[in-house]
A and B are shown apart, each in its own frame.
Chain A
């Protein structure tokens, strides 16, 4: 494994299978080898206690969601609030925008960080920072958070990937092995591409073709009976195993009953959330679902209200569905965007880019329900309560709940050290 990391090239398929096999052995997940130290620091160190959450569904609002009109309303400051009203929720003292009436019923299971801030005010750079905890640089591709989760949490499932991204352009595994990168799914209704055998190829013909291939290989195998040669046929076997695996059904949301589709909403995002839940149920560790259309420089209030119809329906359905299936306690649902939007309403009735304050919504596994961290001041520029929380700290918070070692160093091919949440510190105020 270690030698792989120093290679500049991506893994070839044989190495992929070989390392997947190693990972299947399920050896110790937490490389926390260390001496016995009894202090509060180690008590807080991930790995020393059972993880609170096992899975993450990360709902990424691309284009920067207007925090003031969704999760970060400030009823005390009507100047910046505009026409959006606040409504009470199932948690005492927690308020949401009127655009999210269904989500409000789940706030006893959720926490909101109201003082998120980022150093980047452009979409691509800010999104990169949110996903990787590092600033975008020309010299290196950092792994996304999902890739880190895949790398550090150890394999759960050998037949389907650990890290899936639904909608939007996938960011990669960076310098980590490519198997940790997200498996992209463009259209949730279409499922996993190129994983089925062709329609004309029935089981017996497929079997026949495999047998023929084996026959042709036989003499070569006899002559060169080596590990590397055998690995080729193993690769075929693994691929066939995946194709025939029941696990592939996880990607097929047509198997869900009609009322489930309706519960989540027929929008692309709703169906993406439904697929995310199916994948979590099949023990995929990290699923990201994106929803665009938030770059509301014009006509902000109408656009946000329209977007929220989708979001509210899908998010509340997801929380309800996870709860009913007994999954919510071990699944963390995160909803955030790359930055917020200006408190000042521009002449086109829109809001512009605002990296100085936005919100992150966290629910389910490992989260202290019904909490709000921080409060922005009346101009929405600085925290009135609490401190700014940067993207790295948000990622550190999620990583802590997942029991990932924050101090585990992975080296890039050029030998530079990186960790899962860079310099972020977990925000214990929102953790259970």
Chain B
């Protein structure tokens, strides 16, 4: 038994084949009668790798050897004296692994049973090689400390993330982890107990807590790892007991008050000074409140259910990417970020997110706000790179991703249904979506506009929030129609060219919040309307050619709206 253990160790710990030296040179005889002196290094399938006296490597098919040699090879292979695989490949792998193998070596000698299961090693940079990094910690330092210091020194205070969590990870989480999906079934943690984060460890399960800060007697977690190994409740049930050092670390951690890590994984506002972590602060919130609708696409009753608004929030990359309409996060600028905008709307606003349940608390909103302001980084230690202003090409492409007003409005609404569209067209209006998957519509009276009277607008009332473009040019409408138009809350583009609209009508538009384009060419509007127009601060284009507005009126309007294009 002892021999076998040592052999397994020599494999795990990766002694190079040359340093193994356990197989002696002997003479192999081929079935054809030829003799050959060498020692066997390893085997792969039916091929054995034999090193000759000239230290060259000869792959020899098993079947070509004499029955005696075959017997010998079977024996040593069964006993595990030689490794599997091509020795040339083995040696290169082992060279790369040299460092970690030394570390585990020292551990291994202290207690051979604890690491009976070899930890898989991954190439550098592999996703699986990722190690959790504490809040506010430099990732490279964190990686080193994790590798070297896994157990607390005698006088060192015990740190949850650095000392306790690795033990739980290694010995407990194969059963006590977050629920996951396996072959379509959700695998829940055993006994309903999760030991994957500080919060869960402290929460315990339905029965009770498993850790009582400062009290070993009341901490069930400590009790089960110190039971007699034959006891039914002894933990971990497989792979043997924890080492004395590991038990000691957990004991001291509980005695010291079972505190969270110094860096803190708690969701408290006091952590905010250290930077917001996406994984620790933001994602849990998103997971709880957003993923019901904005998760990854899934299949339900044979239909693929896509995330609402085409927006996925299930990974950092998706959140940053946004949807077809553009990004939802402007790094460094919470006010410009759609994500921030929709969670800070009034609770009774139809567009507030999340649409169901209570709105996010102020504290939660502040977390989002601060995270975006800090640059919406995945890890707090990442540096937030401001856009370089001098690089014109970058600037122009970025500009495209900034949402236009009408796209932002579109995101808040559902597209009108087919019956709604049909009803809207009853008036003689042509109603079209601005584009595929856009919620906003353009309504225009293009056929026989002279027959269109004020009452025609009534048909559009069913979709009034969806109308962003309204073309009433050349129609026979009067000022009265604008009392209805002003109820179109999301109107951005209004064309009243060649109509008999007067100042009394324009008065009614004064409160329209999103109006950016207003065409009053050849209308009856005079200087009296300038006051109303001044209050429309979002205006970007105003066309007043051939109206009754005077040059003074234009000058006044240009002063009030310096950014707008005003043509006269």
Contacts and interface: CB of A to CB of B under 8 A. Distances in A.
B521 A246 contact: no
Contact of A50 (B421, B438, B497, B545): B438
A47 B446 contact: no
B431 A36 contact: no
B274 interface: no
A43 B324 contact: yes
Contact of B444 (A25, A51, A283): A283
B551 to A, nearest CB: 15
Interface stretch (B18-26, B184-192, B447-455): B447-455
B449 A50 contact: no
A156 B446 contact: yes
B310 A326 contact: no
A36 B435 contact: no
Given A156-B430, A325-B543, A326-B567, A30 B448 contact: no
B435 A38 contact: no
B447 A247 contact: yes
Nearest to B518: A326
A155 B437 CA distance: 20
A241 B451 CA distance: 12
Interface string A66-79: 00000000000000
A403 interface: yes
Contact of A325 (B304, B312, B444, B497): B497
Contacts, number: 88
B436 interface: yes
Contacts of B421: 26
A156 B448 contact: no
Task: Tell which of A29, A32, A35, A325 has the most Cβ of chain B within 10 Å.
Answer: A325
Contact of B434 (A35, A38, A50, A154): A50
Contact of B310 (A28, A38, A157, A324): A38
A26 B432 contact: yes
Interface in A15-33: 24-26, 28-30, 32
Given A245-B448, A325-B543, A325-B545, A38 B323 contact: yes
B543 A26 contact: no
Nearest to A32: B436
B435 A50 contact: yes
Contacts of B446: 156-158, 282-283
Nearest to A284: B446
Interface string A116-160: 000000000000000000000000000000000000001111110
A403 B434 CA distance: 10
A162 to B, nearest CB: 10
Contact of A42 (B324, B432, B543, B546): B324
B297 interface: yes
B150 to A, nearest CB: 41
A45 to B, nearest CB: 9
A205 interface: no
Contacts of A283: 444, 446
Interface string B289-324: 000000001000000101000101000000001011
Contact of A38 (B324, B438, B447, B495): B324
Contact of A26 (B321, B425, B451): B425
Contacts of A43: 324
Given A50-B406, A323-B567, A36 B321 contact: no
A29 B430 CA distance: 12
B517 interface: yes
Contacts of B546: 324
Contacts of B543: 324-326
Interface string A373-410: 00000000000000000000000000000010000000
Contacts of A324: 521, 543, 545-546, 567
Interface residues of A, number: 36
B265 interface: no
B381 to A, nearest CB: 29
B541 interface: yes
B556 to A, nearest CB: 20
Contact of A36 (B306, B438, B444, B497): B306
Interface residues of B, number: 40
B521 A326 contact: yes
Given A29-B432, A157-B447, A326-B495, A48 B324 contact: yes
B434 A26 contact: no
A26 B427 CA distance: 13
Given A325-B497, A325-B545, A49 B435 contact: yes
A409 B483 CA distance: 45
Contacts of A50: 406-407, 434-435, 438
B196 to A, nearest CB: 31
B162 interface: no
A246 B445 CA distance: 13
Contacts of B425: 25-26
Contacts of A159: 447-448
B161 interface: no
B337 interface: no
A24 B425 CA distance: 10
Contacts of A29: 432-433
Interface in B545-568: 545-546, 567
Contacts of B541: 326, 329
A252 B406 CA distance: 36
Task: Tell which of B304, B312, B406, B436 has the most Cβ of chain A within 10 Å.
Answer: B436
A231 B477 CA distance: 33
Nearest to A368: B396
Contacts of A155: 430
B324 A246 contact: no
B497 A47 contact: no
13 contacts: A29-B433, A48-B324, A155-B430, A158-B447, A159-B447, A159-B448, A241-B448, A247-B448, A283-B446, A324-B543, A325-B543, A326-B495, A326-B543
Interface of B: 297, 304, 306, 310, 312, 321, 323-324, 406-407, 421, 425, 430-438, 444, 446-451, 473-474, 495, 497, 517, 519, 521, 541, 543, 545-546, 567
Given A32-B436, A43-B324, A48-B324, 17 more contacts: A28-B433, A36-B310, A42-B324, A47-B435, A48-B435, A50-B434, A51-B435, A154-B432, A247-B449, A282-B446, A282-B474, A283-B446, A323-B567, A324-B545, A324-B567, A325-B545, A403-B435
Q: Which 4 A-B pairs have the closest CB atoms?
A: A326-B543, A50-B434, A246-B450, A158-B447
